[in-house]
Amino acid sequence: GYIGSEAHIEKRYATRAEPEDPEERELPSYLWGLHWPIETKPAHSLFSAYFNLDNGSGKIRGIYTQNNVAAAPIFEAWLEPFHDLGADTVTNRDTGGTDHVPFDRVGLPGFQFIQDKLDYFTRTHHSNLDVYDHAQREDLMQASVVMASFAYHAAMRDEMLPREPMPQEPPEKDTEDKEDEN
């Protein structure tokens, strides 16, 4: 899950500075805010993409580019063979709350597929009802084909997928500016 993604990134791809606040440092790292600088490891430059399918059993309807506009035409081409299966949407919007977010936060391309929600958020999401009986065979078959195709295309590209600029620390407001606002 999400915590595992963060641990994997910290081990292989990038680390963030520890918080200066001792109370925040006592919390598990996945509860820390975003701290700077981001220090990349050698494997960071070799990473092409992370594709995530994490919203239950529904069919894939498309993919979020996470505001990575340069990825949109690539994904549109990759989805074209699956239009007849209902996978035809590429949106430059971003979405959160899934395992791709930790990748995105350290400048690695992480993408979440758009899925039919079915009863994911109303019944099965993180509940004791998230069982095999809720898996839709046809939806899983469709999603498997689309995901396999994306993984294949990403692996066979001559270059890695385009990246957004590395996240930067937001500028701090001057003390005088804060006083002027009051």
- In the chain, at which residue ranges do the beta strands (DSSP E only) sit? 14-16, 38-40, 50-52, 60-64, 89-91, 110-115
What pairs with residue 89 in β-bridges? Answer: 62
Note the pLDDT tens digit of each residue in 81-99.
999 999 999 999 988 778 8
Q: Which CATH architecture has domain 44-159?
A: 3-Layer(aba) Sandwich (3.40)
pLDDT tens digit sequence for 27-49: 877 677 777 889 999 999 999 99
Higher local confidence (pLDDT), 100 or 180: 100
Per DSSP, the three-state class of 78 is: helix
What is the rounded radius of gyration, in angstroms, for the C-alpha atoms of the chain? Answer: 19
Instruction: Tell me how far apart the alpha carbons of residues 172 and 180 are, in angstroms, rounded to a whole number.
Output: 15
Total residues found in the chain within this entry: 182
Select the more confidently predicted residue: 57 or 74. Answer: 74
Write out pLDDT tens, residues 112-125. Answer: 999 987 665 555 55
pTM across the whole model: 0.82
pLDDT of 175 over the 70 cut: no
Q: Domain-by-domain residue ranges, the chain?
A: 44-159
Distance CA 87, CA 75 (A): 11
